[in-house]
């Protein structure tokens, strides 16, 4: 268990409001990721981080921003939530070592109404 905690687990929010999702890890991993999962699309990368204050965009970054001020926390913000951002959001970490794998958090189910 890579010690990944996502919060909240569920959230319902209104269109146009800002929303922040949190990913917390306890094992000092350098790389962290945010994905969204939608039917028919698998998991798509939103943003990722390769260190404190070092982030980059993924495939579907429009409408999202991220921040990483501490190694253990990676925040995903929806600036102004839209119904198209209703999704399940997963955080992941990349493990260390030559045979590294990726471990995923439990997910956050976000509904924008």
Partner 1 sequence: ELKVEQNPLFLSMQEGKNYTIYCNYSTTSDRLYWYRQDPGKSLESLFVLLSNGAVKQEGRLMASLDTKARLSTLHITAAVHDLSATYFCAVDIGTDKLIFGTGTRLQVFP
Nearest-angstrom CA–CA distance, 51 and 39: 31
Q: Is 40 in the site for partner 1 (CB under 8 A)?
A: yes
| Cβ-based burial of 74 (10 A; exposed 0-12, middle 13-18, buried ≥19) | buried
Q: Which is nearer to partner 1, 4 or 81 (CB)?
A: 4
61-63-68-73 Cα dihedral, nearest 10 degrees: -100
Please name the helix (run of DSSP H) or strand (run of DSSP E) that holds residue 21, with its range, or none.
strand 19-25
Q: Is 80 in the site for partner 1 (CB under 8 A)?
A: no
Q: Which of 5, 13, 22, 43 binds partner 1 (CB under 8 A)?
A: 43
Q: Is 11 in the site for partner 1 (CB under 8 A)?
A: no
Q: Which is nearer to partner 1, 83 or 99 (CB)?
A: 99
Q: Which is nearer to partner 1, 59 or 79 (CB)?
A: 59
């Amino acid at each position: 268990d890579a010690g990944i905690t996502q919060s909240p687990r569920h959230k319902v929010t209104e269109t146009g409001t800002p929303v922040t999702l949190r990913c917390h890890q306890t094992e000092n991993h350098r790389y962290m990721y945010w994905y969204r999962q939608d039917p028919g699309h698998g998991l798509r990368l939103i943003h990722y981080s390769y260190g404190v204050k070092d982030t980059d965009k993924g495939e579907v970054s429009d409408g999202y921003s991220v921040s990483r001020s501490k190694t253990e926390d990676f925040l995903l913000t929806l600036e102004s939530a839209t119904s198209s951002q209703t999704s399940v959001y997963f955080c992941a970490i990349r493990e260390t070592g030559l045979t590294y794998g990726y471990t995923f958090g439990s997910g956050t189910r976000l509904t924008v109404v």
